[in-house]
Structure 1
Amino acid sequence: MANVVVVGSQWGDEGKGKIVDWLSEQADIVVRFQGGHNAGHTLVIDGTTYKLSLLPSGIVRPGKLSVIGNGVVLDPRALVEEITRLTGQGVTISRDVLRIADNVTLILPLHRELDALRESGAAGTRIGTTKRGIGPAYEDKVGRRAIRLMDLAEPAALPAKIDRLLAHHNALRRGLDLPPIAAAELTDELLALAPQVLPYMDRVWALLDDHRRAGSRILFEGAQGALLDVDHGTYPFVTSSNTVAGGAATGSGLGPTAIGYVLGIAKAYTTRVGEGPFPTELFDDIGRRIGERGREFGTVTGRPRRCGWFDAVIVRQTVKTSGITGIALTKLDILDGFDEIKVCVRYRLDGQEIDYLPAGQGAQARVEPIYETIPGWSQSSAGARSWADLPAQAIKYVRWIEELIGCPVTLLSTSPERDDTILVQNPFEA
């Protein structure tokens, strides 16, 4: 029985919500291991839509334990608001179903303000973030001056930690012509939130190890996609954490031997939100048609997503950097009705053909896609639940993708409905 890590194998927004929800029904524990409330899952269960941006997807299923791991950066105010919203939808949230790592880093108001200022263009390169303070919070974590959840449980020691943090931030703010932050005000704000978040605090590394040894099924879910990984993504147009599958170990406190199966999620085409390179991006009617049919708008921000053909180069690369065992291919039905479908199989860089995405920012901006074309299909694949329900040409397309990325498609999604899924191999039973 394998514990499963789910990762996006493109730039995020691959349709992880439906797949994670399906897997979470079989899991005992669902762990969020990185990111903040800048990415989300949309779950539809029994006709009710739940939009999650921080809480693990298991939270909407009774009897599951949801865990926010140490690799996450936690905005306590956003957490309280999300809990309140879900409670209003009838979801019961208590310590019985939610635990948060005691060593998780907190996102503070000053992080949000700094993030927004940078994205305005007034202080550095515009990355296209959601302005929720995720990047600046990770900076403080790595700079060893962060406020962590456990610090709220020690009110006597908190002011000294905040003074150390503000020694950095107030100097930065003076350089940006911003007023300094009063330590007492920030301390009071955090201590006011403490009673609402501390009941969920736990030693998550020990909790998960106990459950693993007892045979519990653990599902690790990340946010964003592997091409937004701070090391392996399209730097600097990335998030500030490790989104590849290896981050599940460091972001939860479990060793890598606890991970058995890595499921990569990929759309049958490609999308991206925010700035940065996108070799197969389409600026024509086909790109607009894909976006409209796929309802390509961000779960958290509502921003329209950039759309393009499937890029086998980046998915093939992600299969390697995340050690992906099998691919869940989503939104195949969006390609119904196209006369022909293109797939990027290689790039051309400065006159030479290459089979990888280069690491350099300039090179990433210069690569040109090399396409191969396959005939499309006129019949509908929407709602298909077996291979026999699919148009023959759609099956050829799936097999072609498998060959190009060097990884099997073990699950195929043909609509947002969770039952409209073709299962080849259950990751938990691999």
Structure 2
Amino acid sequence: MPSNVIVGLQWGDEGKGKITDFLSKNSDYVIRYQGGNNSGHSIHIENNYFILHLIPSGIVYPNVKCIIGPGMVVDPKFLIKELINLKSMGINVDNIFIAKRSHIIMPYHILLDKYKEEYLGKNFIGTTNKGIGPAYEDKISRIGIRMLDFFYPDIFYKKLKNNIELKNIIFKKIYKKPTISVEIIYKKYMEYAKILSSRIIDAVYEIHIALNKNKRILFEGAQAMLLDIDYGTYPFVTTSSSTTGGVCVGSGIPPVGFDNFFGVIKSYCTRVGNGPFPTEIIKTKLVNYLRNKGNEYGSTTKRPRRCGWLDLVAIKYSCKINGINYLIMTKLDVLNGLNYIKICIKYEIDGLEVNYFTPDIGNNKINCIYKKFKGWNQNICDIKEYENLPINCKKYINFIEEYIGLKIILISIGSERNKNIIKYKHLFYKIFSSEKI
């Protein structure tokens, strides 16, 4: 059976959690390969809402093994809370495992995140202050503490002591903040170790056994393509590789281990935090319409998302970087009732038309060249077949397919799990299973 990857192609919040949940029914494993609890994946099943931050989006199915992969950074305190919360909602949490190689977020990472943003003032990045960036910094600096260190208390203590001594100098000398205690943190984290130790596994070994047994594996990231540390809108990005290339790094699977790469796009575009956003809508009334109808508030931070029109220049770039095979569109229902809808098809930079996403996008004033579409004033949330969508809606979708050169295989028309339209049914069922989802 194939191993499939789901990646967001914009600045996040494309609805990857819902899509992963929907496609997890016929999966044996769901593996998250990067990021930490700085993103939230929302799942809506009937009257129940689940917001997952660290735990992979396949957890609602009791037969699916969920692995927090080697490429992730994990706040153990937050993870334990998330496990308790899911259990209280009647979800079986026995199939949640953590890679030994994943790095641990420590209290000093969270403090460093907060202090640095304060220090930058008006030039702040707009992080979630969850300690993600500083944890990845320690990983790259080769002073990080990993989940496997929980099994070696003496080694854990030594690494913790060395780290805190260094961090206390930074707190005191640079940020003029109080120092922190080694003993208090060590004691607390040894308590976390007792709670989580039975879940900590050699994930690479487990995943490769699953591959050899032809198990069905679904890989999901935390952030989206345009927040990738290398190929996103740097420096307003995350601190890990959120591309399909990051799946190899973050899970230990070679490129030949994957069959299909699914790119998720929202029918419009949003962004949380600072950074360039060429198609951002300035009109307050229209922004409020999209924000309120699409519930465009951060799952993690609750910050209102900036809203804009669909940017096909950026999406085409994202598809190339990720080697996307098929597109999945979400929140098409949010566009119901608009008189018109616009799609960016080119940029104008210094008087020149540009049809590609440049690395210096944040350094230039960009004017977007749009194609305008008539809207549709019809509730599409209960439509089951693509053919029954309003004609203007189909024109919008078909134009996107033609521009990008890829099929939109699945269309989400509501937050609930089964509010979807499968556009190419024969192809869809061939990829995922003979059993209909």
- Structure-2 residue corresponding to 1:153: 151
CA distance in 2, matches of 1:104, 1:307: 34
Maintained 8 Å contact 1:117/1:123: no
Asked whether the 8 Å contact 2:115–2:175 carries over to 1, the reply is no
- CA–CA separation in structure 2 for the residues paired with 1:69 and 1:21: 17
Is the contact between residue 43 and residue 416 of structure 2 (CA under 8 Å) also seen in structure 1?
no
Q: Secondary structure at the match of 1:127?
A: coil
Distance 1:143 1:213 in 2: 34
Post-superposition CA distance 1:134-186 (Å, at most 9, x none): 01100000000001111111012222212332343222212211223232222
Paired residues of 1:2 and 1:429 also in contact (CA < 8 A): no
Q: CA deviation at 1:276?
A: 0.5
What is the letter of the counterpart of residue 354 of structure 2?
I
Q: Among the aligned pairs, what percent are the same residue?
A: 39
Evaluate the alpha carbon distance shift between residue 125 and residue 141 of structure 1 in structure 2; reply closer, same or farther with a 3 A threshold.
farther
> How many angstroms apart in 1 are the aligned matches of 2:179 and 2:337?
58
Q: Secondary structure at the match of 1:66?
A: strand
Give 2:414's aligned amino acid.
S
In structure 2, the partner of 1:98 is: 96
Residue in structure 1 matched with residue 115 of structure 2 by the alignment = 117
Q: Return the alpha-carbon distance in structure 1 between the equivalents of residues 171 and 391 of structure 2.
A: 60
Contact map agreement 1:118 1:124 (CA 8 A) in 2: no
User: Aligned pair 1:398/2:397, yes or no?
Assistant: yes
Asked whether the equivalents of residues 226 and 233 of structure 2 are also in contact (C-alpha less than 8 Å), the reply is yes
Write the distance in 2 (CA, Å) between the matches of 1:29 and 1:309. 35
CA distance in 2, matches of 1:130, 1:341: 31
**What SS is found at the alignment partner of 2:87?**
helix
Q: For residues 345-404 of structure 1, what are the alpha-carbon distances to aligned partners after superposition, in whole Å with 9 as ceiling and x for unaligned?
A: 0111111111122212643x5222111112222233222221122001111110101122
Q: Partners in 2 of 1:151 and 1:230 — Cα distance?
A: 27
Task: Give runs of aligned pairs for residues 164-243 of structure 1, distance below 5 A.
Answer: 164-174=162-172, 175-243=174-242
Letter paired with 2:124: R
Aligned Cα RMSD in Å? 1.6
Deviation at 1:40, TM superposition (A): 1.2
3-state secondary structure, aligned to 1:146: coil
Q: Are 2:10 and 2:225, in contact at CA under 8 Å, matched by a contact in 1?
A: yes
- Report the equivalent of 2:320: 320
Match of 2:311 in 1: 311
SS in 2 for 1:62: coil
Is 1:366 matched with 2:370?
no
Distance of 2:138 and 2:382 partners within structure 1: 46
- How far residue 191 of structure 1 moved from its aligned partner, in angstroms, is 1.1
Letter in 2 for 1:271: T
Give the alignment of 1:276-295 within 5 angstroms.
276-284=275-283, 285-295=285-295
- Counterpart CA distance in 1 for 2:362 and 2:54 is 33
* One-letter identity of the residue aligned with 1:390: L
**Change in CA separation of 1:202 and 1:212 when aligned onto 2, cut-off 3 Å:** same
Runs of 4+ that moved beyond 3 A: 121-125
Name the residue aligned to 2:125.
Answer: 127
Aligned to 2:142: 144
Q: What whole-Å deviation, never above 9, does each CA across 1:250-288 have from its counterpart, x for those lacking one?
A: 111111111111111101100111110101111212222
The answer to which of 405-414 and 102-111 deviates more is 405-414
Q: Name the CA distance, whole Å, in 1 between partners of 2:371 and 2:260.
A: 31
Task: Quote the residue 2:71 is aligned against.
Answer: 71
CA distance in 1, matches of 2:82, 2:92: 12
Q: Which amino acid aligns with 2:432?
A: F
Corresponding position of 2:301: 301
Report how far residue 123 of structure 1 moved: 6.9
Cα contact 2:43–2:417 (8 A) shared by 1 = no
In structure 2, the CA distance between the partners of 1:124 and 1:138, relative to structure 1 (3 Å rule), is: farther
Write the distance in 1 (CA, Å) between the matches of 2:10 and 2:293: 19
Q: Contact between 1:230 and 1:241, CA under 8 Å: does it hold in 2?
A: yes
Within 2, Cα distance between the matches of 1:362 and 1:110?
Answer: 31
Unpaired runs of 5+ in structure 1?
Answer: none
Alpha-carbon distance in structure 1 between the residues aligned to 2:271 and 2:403: 21
Superposition TM-score, scaled by structure 2 size: 0.94
Note if contact 1:263-1:326 (Cα within 8 Å) is conserved in structure 2: yes
User: What whole-Å deviation, never above 9, does each CA across 1:37-73 have from its counterpart, x for those lacking one?
Assistant: 0111111224321111110112221111000101110
Would you say the 8 A contact 2:119–2:175 is kept in 1? no
Corresponding position of 1:84: 84
Once residues 122 and 381 of structure 1 are traced to their aligned partners in structure 2, the CA distance between those partners, rounded to angstroms, is 45
Q: Distance between the aligned counterparts of 1:93 and 1:362, measured in 2?
A: 43
Q: Distance in 1 between matches of 2:189 and 2:197?
A: 11
Structure 2 unaligned runs (5+)?
none
Q: Distance in 2 between matches of 1:353 and 1:2?
A: 41
For the Cα contact (< 8 Å) 2:21–2:60, is it kept in 1? Answer: no
Q: 1:127 to 1:155 in 2, by over 3 A?
A: same
